[in-house]
Amino acid sequence: MLLWFAGLAFLGVVLIFSSPAIDYRLVMAGAVLPVIEWPLAGPWIAHTLIGSVVLLAAVMLVLRGRRLLQRRWLGLPIGTFMHLVLDGTWATKELFWWPAFGFGFGEWAVPEANRSPVALIAMELLGAAALLWIVRNYRLTDPERRRAFFATGHLDRKLVA
């Protein structure tokens, strides 16, 4: 379930924000971060709205006064918010709004674990297709652009805006 989250979070953020200044590497990292709860018999805090809000607040507070670093690291909580959307976590109100309905996490499995193998494969293929579209559309096949992306997480300004 990595390509689904990484690819569609990247695609969604680049199409919605159209910003060359976002570090898309961190958006993808944030989008896959909650998946670590799957083998830990989660879901836990990373699958809740408050988890993403606390991460956003931490980025803003820890990096207060360092605007460029704030802007770079905002990609991480943006990615975790995208995970909540792409995972359908919002459909389980007790989990999404935790702790509003009690402090226990219940007997839920992480939402991605409740899908059939066919759905998981289809979702991964859609994520791979999204990444492929991004590579082609933002010309990451060009070695110089690709190197710049891996070094900074930014896309070419001329191609994004």
Residue with tokens 């958006």: 27
Q: Would residue 161 count as lying in a domain?
A: no
Q: Would residue 64 count as lying in a domain?
A: yes
pLDDT reported for residue 93: 84
Q: Would residue 159 count as lying in a domain?
A: no
pLDDT in tens, 65-102: 999 899 899 999 999 999 999 998 888 888 888 888 77
Q: How many domains does the chain have?
A: 1
pLDDT in tens, 145-159: 999 999 999 999 888
d(CA 134, CA 147): 15
Read out DSSP for 36-103? GGTTTT---GGGSHHHHHHHHHHHHHHTTT-HHHHHHHTHHHHHHHHHHHHHTGGGSHHHHTTTTT-S
In which band, very low, low, confident or very high, does the pLDDT at 106 lie, cut at 50, 70 and 90?
Answer: low
Q: Would residue 160 count as lying in a domain?
A: no
Please state, rounded to an integer, the average pLDDT across all residues of the chain: 91
pLDDT in tens, 113-132: 788 999 999 999 999 999 99
Q: For residues 13-21, give the mean pLDDT.
A: 91
Q: Residue 12 belongs to what domain range?
A: 2-153
pLDDT reported for residue 75: 95
- 4, pLDDT greater than 90: yes
- 6, pLDDT greater than 80: yes
Q: Would residue 62 count as lying in a domain?
A: yes
Q: Would residue 59 count as lying in a domain?
A: yes
